[in-house]
Amino acid sequence: MVKSLMKSLACAATLLAVPVRTMDVCAGLHQGTPPENRADAPSAWAYASALKTLDMDAVKADMTALLADSKGCWPANFGNYGPFMARLAWHCSGSYRKSDGVGGCGGGRQRFEPERSWPDNTNLDKARALLHPLKVKYGDALSWGDLFILAGTTAFRDAGAPISKMCFGRTDDADGMKSQALGPTALQAEQMPCAVNGECKLPLGATTVGLIYVNPEGPMANPDPALSAKDVRQTFQAMGHNDRHTVALIGGGHAIGKGHGACKGAAGLAPNEAYEKGVAPWQGECGTGKGDDTVTAGFEGAWTDNPLKFDNQYYQDLVKHDWEKHVGPGGHWQWHIKGSESKLMRLTADMSLLHDENYKAVVVEFAKDMGAFSQAFDEAWFDLTTTYGSGTWSPAAKCDDGTVPEKLISRPVMLNSDVTPVQDEAPRTPIVAGAFVLATAAAVLAYSFKKNNQGVPSDYTEIEG
């Protein structure tokens, strides 16, 4: 633990000492992606106290304004960051797996290793940096986990999605320890090994360690939609979603935004490598590395004609056109409309929805019925971002529909030391607190003395509760 911290601090010092390469760095980079690989988090009591003061209407209005304010350090596609932030929230939440409850956006751990360096999270360091001004403005009242989900939820709402509820109260973590089991880490390799990355099985969530979803090109880059459908079902079931919600989330997520694969160049170094070399993460090898030159997953194009509007064109075009595969400018297999000059694209994972009877039936329904699609997406988005993987909830949690998420606050299943009782009272007085610290120190010393006399190594410093 100490060695890891010292290494992180050394990387941070290197980054600060060495000038970053040409690309402009967004001002909040180090706050959204800390070189130290950790960040202070408020106590449960401090967070609950601050959360009570959060003006939900004000922060939602501020988020809408932020999304429409394109910055030169990372220009917004179509003049709005909405789709970019939808991806941020989706990927922060989609790491959850129900097999052991690991993952999800609770804790705001996408800021830390290993999640921040996953290939699927390429360029999301910019999204987190762009959100930092709101974190500064609202302080402890707005956790990083809530900030990420608010960004995505606001993006969909502004695009026209009838999302009925946004809840605040996810407590933040100070590091990414609770994500270690997601991999790629020594812990994941020991507890949940994957012999062939790309063919991972349950209880791991994704088929590929480092991806939130599935390989969009197809299993092991094989553009076979039928095989991809099997991976889609495995992955989404592992996250807790049924077939209807799976189709709603895929089509809803691709109703807005575009893919980025401007050329065959790489996206740049992930944070874990970049910080060691003293450069900024994900700078890209295509031209300026941003705007029209952006490379993320390597697939180029939008899914719909209006990438800032939430509608069901994704499903309509999927069923009414013939699609054929081709190699896109990023060098990967993707799909376009056969015999058309349209630049709309589909991924093999999108096409998979036509090669599974259950999925296809839902696609056809949503293509005909916008209301059914909207309702399913609202339910699925709430499950993705709130029901699953939202971590420890503050007793002061609240939702913008006037309700209190009591089931989330009181649920018993948490990870390790997730549950931290919060008293609705001021912290202990200095005298009481001092006595408590002395008593605790005495107990720890006694425990350590006893263990040392039972053969426990003298440098053993962590006590598990």
What is the four-CA torsion angle of 441, 445, 448, 454, rounded to 10 degrees?
A: -150
What is the rounded distance in angstroms from the CA atom of residue 24 to the CA atom of residue 284? Answer: 12
> Considering the domain boundaries, does residue 396 fall inside one?
yes
> Considering the domain boundaries, does residue 464 fall inside one?
no
So what's the pLDDT on residue 411? 60
Give the pairing of strands 167-170 and 301-302. unpaired
Domain that holds residue 331: 2-410
So what's the pLDDT on residue 191? 83
What is the four-CA torsion angle of 134, 138, 141, 147, rounded to 10 degrees?
A: -10
So what's the pLDDT on residue 183? 84
> Considering the domain boundaries, does residue 461 fall inside one?
no
Residues of the chain predicted below pLDDT 70: 1-23, 410-465
DSSP per residue over 423-448, as a string?
A: -SSPPPPHHHHHHHHHHHHHHHHHHH
> Considering the domain boundaries, does residue 463 fall inside one?
no
Are 324 and 335 spatial neighbours (Cβ–Cβ below 8 Å)?
Answer: yes
Query: Using one digit for the tens of pLDDT, what is the confidence trace for 192-218?
Result: 888 888 888 877 777 888 888 889 999
Angle between helices 370-382 and 243-253 (to 10 degrees): 100
**For residues 365-402, b (16+ Cβ closer than 10 Å) or e, as one string?**
bbbeeeeebbebbbebbbbbbbbbbbbbbbbbbbbbee
Is 332 labeled as catalytic in the residue annotation? no
> Considering the domain boundaries, does residue 422 fall inside one?
no
Are 165 and 382 spatial neighbours (Cβ–Cβ below 8 Å)?
Answer: yes
What is the rounded distance in angstroms from the CA atom of residue 90 to the CA atom of residue 380? Answer: 11
> Considering the domain boundaries, does residue 26 fall inside one?
yes
Looking at residue 95, what DSSP letter applies? T
Structure tokens at 345: 């694209």
> Considering the domain boundaries, does residue 448 fall inside one?
no
Task: Round to the nearest angstrom and report the end-to-end CA distance of the chain.
Answer: 17
Question: Of these residues, 30, 91, 132, 260, which one is catalytic?
Answer: 91
Task: Specify the CATH number for the domain of residue 241.
Answer: 1.10.420.10
Q: How many domains does the chain have?
A: 1
Are 333 and 266 spatial neighbours (Cβ–Cβ below 8 Å)?
Answer: no
> Considering the domain boundaries, does residue 91 fall inside one?
yes
Percent of the chain, pLDDT > 90? 73
Q: Please state the pTM of the whole predicted model.
A: 0.84
So what's the pLDDT on residue 452? 38
What is the rounded distance in angstroms from the CA atom of residue 278 to the CA atom of residue 221? Answer: 32
